[in-house]
Structure 1
Amino acid sequence: MNTSSQSGALAPLTGGKLVLATLAVALATFMNVLDSSIANVAIPTISGNMGVSVDEGTWVITLFAAANAISIPLTGWLTQRIGQVKLFVWAILLFVLSSWLCGIAPNLPMLLGARILQGAVAGPLIPLSQAILLGSYPKEKSSHALALWAMTATVGPIVGPALGGWITDSYSWSWIFYINIPVGLFAAGVTWAIYRTRETPVKRIPIDKVGLISLIAWVGSLQIMLDKGKDLDWFTSPVIVGLGIFALVSFVFFMVWELTEKNPIIDLRLFKGRNFLGGTVAISIAYAVFFSNLVILPQWMQQYLNYRSVDAGLATAPLGIFAVLLAPVMAKIMPKSDARVLATLAFLGFAGVFFMRSFYTTGVDTWTLVVPTLLQGIPTALFFVPLTAIILSGLPGDKIPAAAGLSNFSRVFAGAVGTSLVSTGWNDRTILHHAQLAEQTSVNNPNFVASIDALQNTLGGSASQAMAFFESSLNTQAAMLGLNDIFWLSAVIFIAIIPLIWLTKPGKDGSAAAAGAGGH
């Protein structure tokens, strides 16, 4: 979003009003980012309480992300129709309402419906919070405003998993959604009290209805296909084949329509720019790998290592420590650095972290789990800002809102797709490793017979009890090997996409760098 007209017409806020306004806007951002990660550690509990598989429970995350991705490109049009401040406050209040609906949901379909609503109304919160903050500070202090914004956005990954785990274990998973209610009401109330006299101009402009409907059609059908593919045995199922064909046809129609529409909902012509194309593809693939691993790591810890939700959360929480500490540093070094070098260092850092994880064993201790997560905070700090700066560099000012919206749409949707693909990939690799390990479980294998006899003596039970224990160990080992494959492939992907960064042109566009701070 662009606040130049607003900041040009209105004086910056000062004193206590500025502090309170920053707190309110930051809390709205924090609430949104928190909700993207807080459910991760609660998925096994939610799934168990609702009598569904963990794979089905993962829909709680992916459908939120898909709905969020669809609504992001609508932010510019809605802002012009409703006004920046009103839209921001309404988005917060609807987020509060949908959070309450999530909390009271008695079954998975109702929870998923509430999460879709929550993701949809969350779309405008991130870009508007950044725009409102920039309009509140003097121009020379914009880097400080964006550093505060980035710190708020990165606190979510620290607090989310640990807070979600503690609430789930100590109270009920419903409270991971209920906590948004007081935070949201405070943020909406303070924002309205301070900013209602600082509203942006409103004008009636047409919306690309055909583009919007076709966007919802292909994104929705593709996401359902990816989420249900594993359960329905992929393309042996006529349902999956039908969804795939519908998604493909809708996508092709969407592309043709948007490229010929005068006022498209998504300006695909932006991909003609080398920096926008390379940067957007790189950040989307990277975020898909980054986010999907954040989802499956705590699931594995709870399902196979018997971690409680709160312990899984605490083990993954250190991710945000370096990300927060380095956020102000990034604001200072970005204008003086080549963003391509910083982004390359980020990808190398991610590759190193995932390579470390690819050597995990079923006997892994907490310290070995925490160290890569702590180190991952360093490339996380180097990740969003430089890549978004590359994406927006060289663009005229009037194109930056559309470009930011499209790149955010691509990134968030890639996160949803990546989560579905990685969950499926982990399951497939686990099945493969289970089959390979099970080949050794034959009565003709003297080592296997000796192991069962030893187990029977140790457990003091029957042969069937010993076999059940052995099968459980086999499942755990297969899941570990499958996850190691995912970690190794994740490291390879981060290395493989580095050339995308270097296809872009070098640039030190100040406005792009500033806008890049909103990449979270």
Structure 2
Amino acid sequence: MSKFVPFGDLTGQKLLLATFFLALANFMVVVDTTIANVAVAHITGSLAVSTTQGTWVITSYAVAEAICVPLTGWLAGRFGAVKVFASCLIGFTTFSLLCGLSNSLEMLVFCRIGQGLFGGPLMPLSQTLLMRIHPPEKHAQAMGLWAMTTVVGPIVGPIMGGWICDNFSWHWIFFINLPIGIICVLGVLKMLKPAETPTEHVRVDVMGLSLLVIAVGALQLMLDLGHDHDWFSSQLILSLAVISTFAFAIFIVWEATEKNPIVNINVFRHRGFSIAVLTMGFGFGAFFGSIVLIPQWLQTNMGYTATWAGYVTATMGLGSVTMSPVVAKLSTKMDQRALASFGLFMLGGVTLMRAFWSNDADFMALALPQILQGFAVPFFFIPLTNIALGSVQPNEVAAAAGLMNFVRTMGGAIGASLSVTIWDDHSSIARSEMVSKLNVEPTLSELTARGFSQETALATISNLVNKEALTLAADHVFLVFSVIFMAGAMIIWLCPKPRKVEGAAPH
């Protein structure tokens, strides 16, 4: 094995600083995937839009990020990993500023798309550059730091987002990226220039990329606009569904026959990879849909501030941080299908616990499923990642990892859209059913006897019915997600017994 030669004088303190800037940049991007979750109620109130429309702030970022992930390898090969990383940091920071300055939903969603497009390559490139600047014997520690920022980011996001929204305004959840982004850009340009990767003129699969953008964009627009346009009774939604279906079909045929595909779909020939990635997509959709819905329900129905909604959401962090190294160790010794199945069953169980939440639930009743979920997530995420990447040929691992991240991110975006849509639709159904069975007169008489005016008494009853309907609808969403987790726990056994992947880690 040839001796590792540092790039320039990238040793000692300079190497530590370079590692810090890469980890900090990754942390900033990961935090941004969840920081907006607890801010949706503030954003919808400030911009006078519905909760369903407010969710576009989350889904637009996720979809743009998902589309850009498959392009990362081509961009790095064509322009150099360090140049692309620095350029993406500049773009991400610029769009963060524009997000904070947004005064309409349209502008905010457009800027979140920009954030996602530039943020997509930052996670995989930070991983690549960390591996590049450290000697092989230090790769495990470098990846440990990278994994820690990836795990801790979603925990810090809701707490930070809630505190900022309650004490300043939602605009500041984007403005805080400015100093971090500027520091990271300057640090990367100063420290990492000697570690630039070689470049070559590689042709990009323009047709494949165009079809991917059209298919994913049409699908997400259909999901985001469907509720407001009464779904398939609308010509627009019907057209979007047809466009998405045809674009996906043509995309699959094109990519299967293209010499340099933007997405190497041939890795789906491996049964283990296909089933693991399918399970990952459905499971992450149910997981992300839940963590988007919970803060909104807490703030709308339970009177929680954004800060306290963030605390409830973030209580799963302890388990995730604690169990990640344990599960990584177990993955080298046990059948990873059993570990993944256990994690999915546990996620199904805690989601089922939420399906019995009521309007008088206390903090511990709300936090307990979150805490248990934190312990379950590593069992779900790490073995599924290992099964997927252990099922493909060594020369296909990079393409498989990119495709898996794409499916996972798309699953999250679709899950977020569906959770809020089902919640909204089912609350209307639940309200209608309650109103049809409600005998208002006794309650109305009691309230008027206590000094309430007729109008105030009716408004009080209406408010109680609305709150109960929203809770019943949220419980319905959790029941649906619980079934998805349970189904995933059984489907994973269709994978062939995976090869042992020594030292495998989540990508």
User: 1:453 aligned to 2:450?
Assistant: no
Q: Counterparts of 1:212-231 in structure 2 under 5 Å?
A: 212-231=209-228
**Count of residue pairs the alignment pairs up:** 506
| Offset, 1:70 | 0.4
Instruction: Choose from 342, 356, 360 the match for 1:359.
Output: 356
- Show CA shifts across 1:142-179 (max 9, x none): 33322221111111122111110110111111110011
User: 1:156 aligned to 2:153?
Assistant: yes
- Show CA shifts across 1:485-514 (max 9, x none): 111221111111123322222334437x53
CA distance in 2, matches of 1:114, 1:8: 42
Instruction: Choose from 315, 320, 332 the match for 1:318.
Output: 315
CA distance in 1, matches of 2:15, 2:379: 28
User: 1:99 aligned to 2:70?
Assistant: no
User: 1:470 aligned to 2:467?
Assistant: no
CA distance in 2, matches of 1:390, 1:189: 38
Alpha carbons of structure 1 residues 186 and 46: separation in structure 2 relative to 1, 3 Å: same
CA contact 2:89–2:185 (8 Å) conserved in 1: yes
User: 1:479 aligned to 2:470?
Assistant: yes
| Offset, 1:116 | 0.3
CA contact 2:133–2:195 (8 Å) conserved in 1: no
- Paired residue type of 2:77: Q
CA distance in 1, matches of 2:105, 2:344: 37
**Residue number in structure 1 paired with 2:326:** 329
CA distance in 2, matches of 1:86, 1:69: 21
**Residue number in structure 2 paired with 1:133:** 130
| Offset, 1:125 | 1.1
CA distance in 1, matches of 2:256, 2:85: 30
- Show CA shifts across 1:13-47 (max 9, x none): 64323322222111111111100000011111111
CA distance in 2, matches of 1:190, 1:333: 37
| Offset, 1:132 | 1.6
CA distance in 1, matches of 2:20, 2:232: 50
SS of aligned partner of 2:290: helix
**Residue number in structure 1 paired with 2:284:** 287
CA contact 1:320–1:377 (8 Å) conserved in 2: yes
**Residue number in structure 2 paired with 1:165:** 162
Instruction: Choose from 21, 33, 53 the match for 2:30.
Output: 33
- Runs of 4 or more above 4 Å deviation: 7-14
CA distance in 2, matches of 1:420, 1:267: 27
**Residue number in structure 2 paired with 1:424:** 421
- Show CA shifts across 1:99-142 (max 9, x none): 00101112111111110010011111111111222223332343
- Paired residue type of 1:107: S
| Offset, 1:457 | 2.4
SS of aligned partner of 1:335: coil
- Paired residue type of 1:279: A
CA contact 1:147–1:517 (8 Å) conserved in 2: no
SS of aligned partner of 1:16: helix
| Offset, 1:398 | 2.2
What is the percent sequence identity of the aligned residues?
A: 41
Alpha carbons of structure 1 residues 224 and 8: separation in structure 2 relative to 1, 3 Å: farther
- Paired residue type of 1:454: E
**Residue number in structure 2 paired with 1:241:** 238
Range 123-132 or range 94-103, more displaced: 123-132
- Show CA shifts across 1:187-243 (max 9, x none): 222223222101111001101111111111111111111100000101111111111
SS of aligned partner of 2:192: helix
Instruction: Choose from 76, 85, 110 the match for 1:79.
Output: 76
SS of aligned partner of 1:497: helix
User: 1:300 aligned to 2:292?
Assistant: no
CA distance in 2, matches of 1:353, 1:14: 46
CA contact 2:4–2:135 (8 Å) conserved in 1: no
SS of aligned partner of 2:262: coil
CA contact 1:147–1:331 (8 Å) conserved in 2: no
**Residue number in structure 2 paired with 1:517:** 506
User: 1:505 aligned to 2:505?
Assistant: no
RMSD of aligned alpha carbons: 1.9
**Residue number in structure 1 paired with 2:12:** 15
CA contact 2:267–2:392 (8 Å) conserved in 1: no
**Residue number in structure 2 paired with 1:63:** 60
| Offset, 1:81 | 0.4
- Paired residue type of 1:31: M
| Offset, 1:329 | 3.0
CA distance in 2, matches of 1:263, 1:500: 32
SS of aligned partner of 1:439: helix
Range 184-193 or range 402-411, more displaced: 184-193
CA contact 2:10–2:191 (8 Å) conserved in 1: no
Stretches of structure 2 that go unaligned for 5 or more consecutive residues are none
Range 402-411 or range 183-192, more displaced: 183-192
SS of aligned partner of 2:285: helix
- Paired residue type of 1:234: W
Q: TM-score normalized by structure 1?
A: 0.93
Alpha carbons of structure 1 residues 10 and 273: separation in structure 2 relative to 1, 3 Å: farther
Instruction: Choose from 91, 103, 108 the match for 2:105.
Output: 108
- Paired residue type of 2:213: I
Alpha carbons of structure 1 residues 111 and 323: separation in structure 2 relative to 1, 3 Å: same
**Residue number in structure 2 paired with 1:395:** 392
- Show CA shifts across 1:373-405 (max 9, x none): 112111122222211111110423321111111
